[in-house]
Amino acid sequence: MSNAITEDFLSGQGIAVDPRRIEAQLDQLWGPAAEEVAGPDVDHPGVTRIVLANLVVAGSIGEDSRIDDVLDVVVARYPCRTIVLRPSDDPERKIDAEVSALCHLPAPGRPQVCSERIVLKAGPNANDLLPGAVRPLLESDLPFVLWWTGDPRQNEPLFRSLAGECSRLLIGLPDPDGDPAALRTGLDPKICQFGHDIAWFGITLWRGLTAQFFDQQSQRAPLRRIRTVEIETIAPRIDRPGRVSVWLGAWLAGQLGWKPRSLDAQTPGTLVATFDPRPAGGVASGKAGDVITLKIKTTVDPRAEFARIQKITIVADGSVRDAVYRLSRPDFASPEVEVEVDSCDRKPLPSQVLAPELDTARRLSAALESSRDDPPFARATPIALWMLGA
C-alpha cells in the first residue's frame, strides 16, 4: 500500500474499495498505518485503533455534510466503527463503497486514536442489498447501534430489517418538524425493544436541574402539590410543539405517576395537557378533583436550528402561598441557566449554573454513553406520544 494512499486514509479522505473486499482493504490500510505515521519505531506507534461499538447511520439525500460533521465530533468522544448508508440516484442495482479513518489526538504527545468510517452508497433499486452488505462488516462482540436520521416510513423495509437486528436504535427526526406518526413507528417495541428519540437526550441537563429542586427530603412534599407546569421553547418554526419540550413534560409526568386526562392544541406551537395526580403507591395527592395543567409554549427564533427549551416553571400549592420553581436561560446564546426558588420554607436566592445546550453531536454522544435500558424514558414514552397526538 503506497504512502500516499495511507496518508489519504488517515487524513479522512475516502478511499474507493470493492464492497466485497472492504475488510481486506482495511487490513492493508491499518497494517502499515503505525509505521507510516510514526516512523520505523513500530513499538511506539503514532496511531491507536479503538472501536467501542458498531454505529450504522442511515441518512437521506442531502444530509452528507451534516452527518459527517456530527460523526467527526461523536467518534472523537466515543470511537466506533461507523457504517454510513448513503442514498444516491444511481439506477443501477449495485453498492459503491469507500473507507476512511476518523482520527483525533487525545492529548499532546499521545498516539492518535482512530477508528474507521465505511460508506456504502446505493440507489433505490439496491436498497434491499444493504442489510446483507452491513452484516459482515459488524465487529463481533460489540453493540450494533442504528442511528436513523429521518422518517423510517420513507424506507420502511430497510428500516425494519436493520432495526430488527440492532442492539439499540436511535431515531433522529428533525425537531419540531418530525411527524409524530413517524416517531411512533420508530419507537415501536415490536421492531426494536431498545429505541430512543435523540430529542430525549436534549433534556438531560434540564432533567437534572429540575430534579435537584426536590433532592432534599424536606422538599419532597411539594411534589405532591404541583398544580401547573409551563415550558417555554424556541424553535425555527411553530407548526407543532418541539418534541424536546414534550419529552421534558412527559418525563415529569411519568416520574410522578400522573395520569393523562385531556389534551388541547390551542394554537400552532402551543399545547395544553391536563393530568390527574396518581403518585406511586396509589395514595391520592391533594383534594378530589384536583387537576395538573402542563402548558408548552413555542416562540419562533430564526437563530434556532432545532427546538430548544428556554424556561420551565413549576408551581405547587402552599398552605400560605404557592411555591414557584423556575429554570431559565437569560438569553438565546447563554450557556447558563438561572435557578430560582420562591417558597415559604426556602429563601428566594437565585443562582446560575453552567448548562450549555446539547447539539445533535453531543446528544448522540450522550445516547451512546448511556444505558439502553432506560426506565424513565419507558415511562415517558406513552405520555409523549399521547401529547404529540401520535
Range of weakest confidence among 32-46, 203-217, 274-288, 335-349:
32-46
Of 26, 77, 54, nearest to 142 (Cα)?
54
Q: What distance in Å separates the CA atoms of residue 321 and residue 237, rounded to the nearest whole number?
A: 37
Residue 194, pLDDT > 90, answer: yes
Q: Which residue has the cell 389534551?
A: 263
Angle, helices 360-369 vs 64-77, to 10°: value is 40
Q: Which residues partner with 337 through β-bridges? A: 353
Please give the average per-residue pLDDT across 291-307, as a whole number. Answer: 93
CA atoms 74, 75, 78, 80: torsion sign: positive
Tell me the C-alpha to C-alpha distance, in Å, between residue 70 and each of 83, 270, 336, 343.
14, 30, 23, 43
Q: What distance in Å separates the CA atoms of residue 285 and residue 220, rounded to the nearest whole number?
A: 12
| pLDDT at residue 201 in the model | 97
Strands of 128-175 (E only): list them: 144-148, 168-171
Helix (H) or strand (E) segment spanning residue 325? strand 323-328
Q: What is the largest CA-CA distance in the chain?
A: 79
Tell me the C-alpha to C-alpha distance, in Å, between residue 81 and each of 90, 287, 359.
26, 56, 22
Burial class (CB within 10 angstroms; exposed 0-12, middle 13-18, buried 19+) of 167: middle
Cis omega (within 30 of 0) for bond into 87: no
Confidence bin at 285 (pLDDT 50/70/90): very low
Residue 171, pLDDT > 80, answer: yes
| pLDDT at residue 349 in the model | 60
Please give the average per-residue pLDDT across 82-90, as a whole number. Answer: 94
Single-letter amino acid, residue 176: P
Report which DSSP code applies to 286: S
| pLDDT at residue 218 in the model | 67
| Whether the Cβ atoms of residue 182 and residue 246 lie closer than 8 Å to each other | no
Range of weakest confidence among 274-278, 287-291, 356-360:
287-291
Please give the average per-residue pLDDT across 22-27, as a whole number. Answer: 91
Cell, residue 291:
387537576
Confidence bin at 280 (pLDDT 50/70/90): very low
Strands of 53-133 (E only): list them: 54-58, 81-87, 95-104, 112-122
Q: Which residues contact 141 (CB under 8 A, 6 or more apart)?
A: none
- Domains observed in the chain: 3-172 (no CATH), 202-388 (3.30.360)
For residue 259, the Cα-to-chain-centroid distance in whole angstroms is 26
Q: Which residue has the higher pLDDT, 312 or 34?
A: 312
Mean pLDDT taken over the chain: 88
Single-letter amino acid, residue 127: N
| pLDDT at residue 32 in the model | 57
214 conformational bin, left if phi > 0, alpha if psi -120 to 50, beta if neither: alpha
Q: Which residues contact 183 (CB under 8 A, 6 or more apart)?
A: 171, 173, 197, 243, 385, 388, 390
Q: What distance in Å separates the CA atoms of residue 20 and residue 29, rounded to the nearest whole number?
A: 16
Q: What distance in Å separates the CA atoms of residue 118 and residue 237, rounded to the nearest whole number?
A: 35
| pLDDT at residue 1 in the model | 56
Could you tell me the pTM of the whole model? 0.90
pLDDT > 70 fraction of the chain, expressed in percent and rounded: 89
